[in-house]
Structure formats: structure tokens, C-alpha cells
A and B are shown apart, each in its own frame.
Chain A
Amino acid sequence: MLKALIRVQLLSLASRLFPQARKQGRSALRKLGILVLALYVIGSVGFSVGALFGTLWSPYQSLGLQWLYHAMAALAAFGLSFISSVFLTQSALYNAKDNELLLSLPIRPGFILLSRLLLMWGFVFLTQQVILLPSAAVWWLKGPVRPAGVFMYLLTSLLLPLPAVALSSLGGWLLALAAGRVKRKSLVVTLLSVAFLALYFYAFSRLQAVMGRLAAAGESLAAAVRGAFFPAYHLGLAVAEGSGLSLLLFALCALAPAALAFALLSRRYLAVLTSRRGTRRADTPRVPEKARSPRGALLIKELRRFVSAPEYMLNSGFGLLFIPALPVVMMLDAGTRAALLSALPAGDGLLGAAAAGVLCLMAGMVTITAPSVSLEGKSLWILRTLPVEPMDVLIMKAAMHLLVSLPFILLGAVLAAVAMRLPAWDAALAFVLPALLCALTALLGLAFNLRFPRLDWQSLMQPIKQGLSVVLTMAASFLAVALPAAAYYFLLKDLVSPRVFLLLTALVYAGLSAMVFRHLKKSARDAFLTLGG
């Protein structure tokens, strides 16, 4: 029974990751491209994590605290996997689509829970490897590695996901309970996510310093871990010294919360799945909806979709937050401002060019249109049967992209002008150039998404995060900034002034936008009819 349940879940996971229709249509070149991209991502993440842990190994080894190295890696892996899985448990355990089907079959709820927890274990195990594998590579390269240590490492790697699964499944339950009581859920989720991201970037910017401090504070850290993180201490001892007793103690610490969580959840699982809290029925609006033109209706539809989905706002509109961020940091922190200004080359108009370049890079990260055709998904029939021109649909998608982005670009340009004391001419260019790039990005997003749509999605995250059109749009926008910058720096800096060069670049952006617009106009009707096969 359990085997059959696990098989069904693996099949469902596989069908979501590799839909048949998509797999058949993939060329060998595309598969190779995806493989190269995957290897690049894995390699770069692994290298970065390995480099960070590389700073810890030598100081800890010199103090004879190799166990602390493994304990720190385990704690970091545990933290990462808990954060990644706590939100997943809600959909995987409590809101799974096949819950009702499985409950209607003669299967004990405990088996359903166990099969889902085992899959969670697999996910957590893989997430933890993001930290554990690079840290193990550092250990392999720098330290003495004994067979007993490797054996202990493998065993503890298998056990380490258990407490994370236990905690995140309980945390997910609490989150599910809390979510049921929250009003304006998408706003709350967005604000919390933005706060979390801000915290993340703050922590990331301080990571080198934190790692340096962790490396320097070996003795006191060891005492703290020994006292407060008893399981991590024994995991470290088991791997570093091959201690069987420590392995046993760590195994007990890992298994006990998992068993306790399973016992608790299996008693309540059926009750949680079968008791739905009703939501308060919203009143029918008394004020009639405002009448709009067809184009206005399409624009409002796009805006409503954008603001109703935190996933869409946070992923595709992520760059918006960064547009004013750097100028704000420069205004608030005189030290950063002085450091940045001194790093920039001196010369008339170069400061303005740098401001425009940075704002362009940030504006290019906004990819609102890139998944917008895919997001029509199964409701595409509505636009196909209503008397609207496909090109109008696309124009309004691009208009929404601009409507959301331009205020941020304007704010970014004004703040940059104040922070960097730019003359009016440079300030104007610092707005016009990113605004034109934003238009180009919006149109490119549509063109790529019409060419590579993903309409068969099950979760919003699939077109928003995993869509090829998003990757291509971001890459194209980056190239649109990097290529002119490189051309100027290596070839043209002695021939053309920065301001003239920015004007020429603006003309190129405008020309490219016009070309993409014409292409869309020519192909929109046919492309709309052939979307989804």
C-alpha cells in the first residue's frame, strides 16, 4: 500500500516536472542547453557555498575543532531546508490535490501522511545537499578523511532531514491555521516576503563578515554549539571522530522529533483534512462596476491578475524594489556614497552614464510580461472568443508592465540625481534610457512568451519561475545593457562623449522596440490561434 502511494506521488511529481507534451517537443539542442544551464547553476551555487565553508575549515582545524565545522554545515543545511520546506508542507501535506481522492479509497490516513512525509524527506534531503555537498568537498580537499568519518557522514546526511521534516510539517500546520484567519492574504504574503527578502539581502551582504567572525570565534562558538545545539555537536563528533556513541545520540535526537511529529499529525491528519473552515461570504457590490473601453478592461484585468498573486509580484516585479534601492542607500549612508563615487571613473557625464546603466540593469530584471501569455492558461478561451484583437491584448499586457515600472524608474532617476548630484541633462537620461529599456523588455517578454508559452501549468510558479520566456527575457535585457557598456568602454570612450553615447543607445533601444512591436503586430493573430497546439 505504502509503496503504491509513494509511486503515485513520484509519478505526479515527474509529470509536473517533465510534462509529456513538452518532453516530446524538445530538440536535442534544447535538452543540451537545459543540461548546461543546470550544470552552471549547480556549479556556481556549489562553488559559492564551498568558498564560504572553505574560510571555516582551516581556523577550526588549527584549534582541533573539526567537529564544529561539520556541526556548522549541518546547522546551515537544517536552517535552509526548514525555510524551503515549511511553505511546501502546506501544499504537500494539507492542500494536496489528490487528498479527496485518496480519502475516498480504503487507505488508512496514517499511510497517506507517511507517504507524503517520505516525499518531503526526499525534498529536504536534496535541499540540504546544497550546503552539505560543497562543505563535504572542502572537507575532502583540505582535511584528513577517514572511512569511518565518510560512513558517519552518509548516515547523518540521511538522518538530518528528519528533524527538519518534523518541524516544517508542524510549522506548515500552524501556517495553514493562521492563513485561514488572515484578511487580504496576498498583501500580507507580499509584505512578509518583501521583509524576508530585505532581511535575506542584508544577511547576504554581511555574509563575508559573518563567516570571518565565525572563523575567528572558534572556541566560544564551540562552547555555544556544545551547550545549545546538542544534536549538532554530536553529529560533528560522529563525522569528525567516528564516534559511534555520538552517532547514536544524534540518531535519537533526529528520530525522536520525527516520531513525535508523525504520532501527533497522524492522530489529527484526518480531522485537519476533513474539516474546512468556511470563509465569510463577500457581499455583492452595491456600486456598479465602472464602465471602461475594451482596452481599459484588458488593462485592468492584467493589473488585477498582477496584484492578486504575490508569486507574480515578487518574482516578476522583483527588480522594481532594487531600482530606487541603491540611490536610497547612497543618500542614507554617506560612507557607501563616497565609496561608490570614488570607484566611478571621473569625467564629464560619466556619473550620469553610470546611474543610467545601473537603473537599466535593475529595470531589465522586471519581467512582468514574460510569463503573462502563459498565465492565461486554461482561461485563454475567454480572450479567444471575445471580440478583441490579439494585438490589443498584448499591448495592454505591455502597458501594464510600463504602468507598474515607470513610477519606480522615475523615482530611481530622481533619487539618483539627488544622491549623485547629477545635472538635469544626465538626470533626464537616467530616466529616459531605463524607461526605453523597460519598454523593450516588456515587448521582448511578450515575443518570447508567444514563442515559448507554457499554458498547461498546475501552479503559478511554473510559468513565472520556470518559463523559458522569463530566462530569455532576462538574458536579452542584460545583454542590451552589457553590450553597449562593453562597446563604449573598450571601443568608443575616446571617440564619443558619454552623453552622446547614451543618446545613441536610447535610439537603439527605441529602434529595437519598434522592431519587436512590428513583429508582434504581424504575428499576434496567428500566434494566438496556435497557442497551446
Chain B
Amino acid sequence: MLEFVNLSKSYGGRKAVDSLSLRVNPGEIYGFIGHNGAGKTTAIKCCCGILRFEEGDALVDGLSIRDDPLACKRRFAYLPDNPDLYEFMTGAQYLGFVADVFGIGKREREERKNRLSDAFELTGDLGQQVSAYSHGMKQKLAVVGALLHEPRLLVMDEPFTGLDPKASFTLKRMMRELCDRGGAVFFSTHVLDVAERLCDKVAILRKGKLVAQGTMEAVKGQETLEEVFLELEADGA
């Protein structure tokens, strides 16, 4: 569903992502972990068509994000770590804008908007300007906007930052439901406990290079994910 094929991205001669190759299959929740500055956000932005990369490719359902970005973007939804939304719109206007761009019909958009905003307890705030939202509310609105077109692939950068416990729980439930329907989720996180409990597969990135990947059991063995991560970090230091 999502595949990185030897993807490399440099900033001024320094490789932020170095020949990254990994594959996210339908039905999988795939965790992407690494220290600060490891290149997780850069890799995610490359696969979503936000950043240009020099080598390799990122494929969504076999389609190249480089060659056919629009077809790829219709299939996935992206959630950034810091959702800077249109502050001049109300929550309802923002969701309407997203629905218009994805061509969602009037009836479906109302049903989905109501269902999702109810689930994230945002319905009562949709008339407010986004500029009046707290960080957590913006994050919830971004999540609702991302799920509105029922994407098959969800790509998220630190999705739980700022969400309250109930919203985090709801998002985790929806991630699992999406995978049960044949979709996939690829997300970065620093919360290793969450990754360990939630993910089917995990990839660990260090200084732009992939140092471990596979099923959760294969990567961590008898240890905790935290212990494995710290050992790998110590090896690379």
C-alpha cells in the first residue's frame, strides 16, 4: 500500500534520509520510530509529496508520488505533527473545503462530518474560528479532516501529540478499524509504549538510515521496544 524504494533526501549535502526502503501492507499499522532529527518527518513528508527527494521513490498503491501525485493524494490522508490549519475559517468551513476538494457528495459529507466530529467531541465547536481553537482542538479538526474522505492509507507524524486521552483512544480505535477494512496506517511516534501496543510492524531510523524493521515480535524479541531502541541508539553512538 505504501512503499519506500531506496528513497534519499539531502539538505545542503547532508543526507536526512539515506536509501530508505520499507513496505507497508494492507491491514498493517506500521510504527516509525527514531531519535529527534533521525529523519522521520522528512521521510514522511517525502512520501506525501510535500518535499522533493533526490533518489528513489515512494509508491502509494504502486503509483509513484513523483509521477502521479494527485492519484496518490486521493488515496491517502496526511496528518502533520503540528496542524497549522486555515485560521481564517471556522471548523465547519475547513471540513467543507476538504470535502469539496475530494468531491464528497453533500449527503455523505454531512454524515461523515457529524459522525467523526461527534466521535472526537468537536461538533459543538465547528462554528468557531480555527484561530480560537486550542492546540488539541486543532489536532482533532485535522484528524477529522484527514478521515473525511475515508482514505485507505493514513500517514501521520506524531498523531497523539496534543490529543486528550479520550481522543487518543478514539483515534487508535479508528486506526485499527481502518486496517481491519483493508487499509493501512503509517505513523511516527516517540511514545514507544503506544507503538509497542498498537503496531503490527515497526521501523527504527537512525541518522536517516533504517537500522531495524519487521514485525513487532521480530524486532523486539523478548525485550521491550524501549530496550531495543536504546540498545540500537547506544550501538550507533
Residue positions of A touching B, CB distance < 8 A = 279, 281-285, 288-294, 296-298, 300-301, 304-305, 308-309, 377-379, 381-382, 384-389, 525-526, 529-530
A308 to B127, CA, bound (A): 15
Please pick, from B51, B77, B88, B101, the residue contacting A305 in the complex, using a CB distance under 8 A.
B88
| Contact (Cβ within 8 A) B74 A387 | yes
Please pick, from B74, B110, B128, the residue contacting A282 in the complex, using a CB distance under 8 A.
B128
Please pick, from A281, A283, A296, A384, the residue contacting B100 in the complex, using a CB distance under 8 A.
A296
The interface residues of chain B lying within 8 Å CB-to-CB of A379 are 84-87
B169 CB to closest chain A CB (Å) equals 23
Which chain A residue shows the least CB distance to B78? A385
Could you list 12 further interchain pairs (A-B, Cβ under 8 angstroms) beyond the known A282-B129, A385-B49?
A: A282-B128, A284-B92, A284-B123, A291-B106, A291-B109, A298-B101, A377-B84, A379-B87, A387-B73, A387-B101, A389-B70, A529-B51
- Kindly state whether residue B26 has any CB partner on chain A within 8 Å: no
| Majority DSSP secondary structure for residues of A touching B | helix
The interface residues of chain A lying within 8 Å CB-to-CB of B125 are 281, 284
Which chain B residue shows the least CB distance to A283? B127
- List B144-171 residues whose CB lies under 8 Å from chain A: none
Q: What are 11 sample pairs from A and B whose C-beta atoms fall under 8 A apart? A: A289-B99, A291-B105, A291-B109, A301-B86, A301-B89, A381-B84, A384-B50, A387-B102, A388-B101, A525-B69, A529-B51
3 tightest A-B CB contacts, nearest first = A297-B100, A289-B96, A378-B84
A337 CB to closest chain B CB (Å) equals 42
A162 to B179, CA, bound (A): 66
A296-B100, A304-B89, A387-B70 given; A279·B132 CB < 8 A: yes
A183 CB to closest chain B CB (Å) equals 13
| Contact (Cβ within 8 A) A304 B93 | yes
The interface residues of chain A lying within 8 Å CB-to-CB of B88 are 304-305, 308-309
The interface residues of chain A lying within 8 Å CB-to-CB of B74 are 387
| Contact (Cβ within 8 A) A305 B86 | yes
Please pick, from B73, B110, B124, the residue contacting A288 in the complex, using a CB distance under 8 A.
B110
Residue positions of B touching A, CB distance < 8 A = 48-52, 69-71, 73-74, 77-78, 80, 82, 84-90, 92-93, 95-106, 109-110, 123-129, 132
| Contact (Cβ within 8 A) A284 B89 | no
The interface residues of chain B lying within 8 Å CB-to-CB of A305 are 86, 88
A526 to B74, CA, bound (A): 20
| Contact (Cβ within 8 A) B73 A385 | yes
| Contact (Cβ within 8 A) A294 B103 | yes
The interface residues of chain B lying within 8 Å CB-to-CB of A296 are 100
The interface residues of chain B lying within 8 Å CB-to-CB of A294 are 100-101, 103
The interface residues of chain B lying within 8 Å CB-to-CB of A385 are 48-50, 73, 77-78
The interface residues of chain A lying within 8 Å CB-to-CB of B101 are 294, 297-298, 386-388
| Contact (Cβ within 8 A) B127 A285 | yes
The interface residues of chain B lying within 8 Å CB-to-CB of A381 are 50, 78, 80, 84
A80 to B106, CA, bound (A): 54
The interface residues of chain B lying within 8 Å CB-to-CB of A387 are 69-71, 73-74, 101-102
A378-B84, A385-B50, A387-B74 given; A285·B126 CB < 8 A: yes
| Contact (Cβ within 8 A) A297 B97 | yes
Which chain A residue shows the least CB distance to B50? A384
| Contact (Cβ within 8 A) A282 B84 | no
A389 to B71, CA, bound (A): 11
A395 CB to closest chain B CB (Å) equals 15
A304 to B106, CA, bound (A): 21
B168 CB to closest chain A CB (Å) equals 22
A153 to B56, CA, bound (A): 69
A292 CB to closest chain B CB (Å) equals 5
The interface residues of chain B lying within 8 Å CB-to-CB of A281 are 124-125, 127-128
| Contact (Cβ within 8 A) B99 A284 | no
Chain A CB count within 10 A is highest, among B88, B90, B101, for B101
Which chain B residue shows the least CB distance to A306? B88
A530 to B92, CA, bound (A): 31
A261 to B86, CA, bound (A): 39
The interface residues of chain A lying within 8 Å CB-to-CB of B106 are 288, 291
A354 CB to closest chain B CB (Å) equals 40
Chain B CB count within 10 A is highest, among A282, A296, A379, A385, for A385
Which chain B residue shows the least CB distance to A305? B88
A296-B100, A529-B52 given; A284·B93 CB < 8 A: no
A153 to B60, CA, bound (A): 72
A382 to B110, CA, bound (A): 21
A281 to B137, CA, bound (A): 14
The interface residues of chain A lying within 8 Å CB-to-CB of B105 are 291
A107 CB to closest chain B CB (Å) equals 25
| Contact (Cβ within 8 A) A282 B100 | no
